Amino acid sequence: MFKNFTSYLQDSSVPTAVFYYFLDLPLVIQVAVVFIFVALSATLLAYLSILIRRYRGYRDDRKEATILPIIDRLLTEHVVLNEGLSENKPITDIDIPLDEFRIPLFHNKANRQLLIERIINYKKSFSGAIADLLRQLYLDLELEKVSFKKMKSAHWNRKVQGMIELTDMDMSISDVNILPLTNSKNRELRAEARNAYIKLSKNEPFKFFDVVTEPLLMWDQIELFKTITTTEDISIPKFARWVTYSPNKSIVSFCLKLIVHYNQQDAAPAVLKLLDNKDHSLRADAINCLGKLRYEEAEDKLVAIYSNQPLNCQIEILKALGRIETGNQIQFLRQEFLHSSDFDIRKNAAKSLVKTRATPQSLIDELIETGTAENILILKHCMNPLIKF
């Protein structure tokens, strides 16, 4: 039986009494007390953290509400409405009163960051001479040094912020600084470095393809594809080089998509060699590429290897035959449509038959007249002009 708490108070101070009273409690109650204390502490810390964040957000919003109108006034008055723009002067000869931007307000690090973000925002909103003048202001105020300093930070998010700023302002970054980041273990840093390298490198924007060891995830490929296809004056290489030599399967797969987009017909022989690759996913990508290139020389080999391929490759072969559209494999497509037990095989064989202009209408009519109910539905579905191939 444990003592009453008052008996501990007679011999010691309150903290000591509480401690010895706790030690005298049964183990189950001790554990419960500890859990209650931890839960209450965690709850209080969580509420305190939320309050601090809300206060900081409120404080930042109030600061921005005061400072942004000042920045907007300066940019509008001295850049957007600059008289030199109407006189068609070279950008470097247009006078910008830099002293107006070198006021004590922007000596503060946070305020200077707001100025950088606002200049970038304006540059995205305007084009032509105004965008060039905004870039010149960014250089004249030496704000690029602030962005370069972020790239040297030990924190990955600061590196990303610096790269985004430099990319948005069309600043060149040396290979020594950016190329190692294209292989970073951090996914976000790696993705941003690759996008920045493609946008900013004038000579070899795809050089990082040679050093990439990490796989290109699907989202990375989507972002890179968007960057490559929307960047102006980018130097497009022959992607067959990486299809032939790259040990990174994701790079090879991505290059196959770029070969199709840029219709690099001279890459087809290199793509054809991938049909002997052991990776069935890569084979499927190669077959898809050959079909979209309409590479007729691949047709016989595609039919020859068909029976030894997994389902995904067989489907891509059927699609490719419909895209190549020579009409030489109509009987092969007919046979697969009639005799295959797999629904996807029959559907894609039917699509290719319908799409191939050399397919006699009499053959389609015969298949509809003699086919099973399911096959007739498949054919009619494929004959719908709204269905994309």
pLDDT digits (tens, 9 = 90+) for 223-247: 999 999 988 888 899 999 999 999 9
Other Cβ atoms within 10 Å of 38 Cβ, number: 10
What is the C-alpha separation between 364 and 366, in angstroms, rounded?
Answer: 5
Decide if pLDDT at 95 tops 90. no
Name residues whose C-beta falls within 8 Å of residue 254's C-beta, 6 or more positions apart in sequence: 216, 221, 224, 225
What is the C-alpha separation between 239 and 368, in angstroms, rounded?
Answer: 44
Q: For the whole prediction, is pTM greater than 0.85?
A: no
Band of residue 164 on the pLDDT scale cut at 50, 70, 90: very high
Residue 90, SS3 per DSSP: coil
Q: Which residue has the tokens 């004590």?
A: 104
Decide if pLDDT at 86 tops 90. no
3-state secondary structure 304-366: HHHHHCCHHHHHHHHHHHHHHCCCCCHHHHHHHHHHCCCHHHHHHHHHHHHHCCCCCHHHHHH
Band of residue 280 on the pLDDT scale cut at 50, 70, 90: very high
What is the C-alpha separation between 172 and 328, in angstroms, rounded?
Answer: 52
Name residues whose C-beta falls within 8 Å of residue 145's C-beta, 6 or more positions apart in sequence: none
pLDDT digits (tens, 9 = 90+) for 297-341: 999 999 999 999 999 999 999 999 999 988 899 999 999 999 999
pLDDT score of 1: 43
Compare 6 and 178 and report the one with higher pLDDT: 178
pLDDT digits (tens, 9 = 90+) for 18-69: 776 777 778 888 788 889 989 999 999 999 999 999 998 888 888 888 899 9
Q: Which residue has the tokens 């489907």?
A: 315
**Torsion over CA of 196, 201, 204 and 209, rounded to 10 degrees?**
-10
Q: Over the chain, what is the mean pLDDT?
A: 89
Q: Where are the domains of the chain?
A: 58-141
pLDDT score of 9: 58
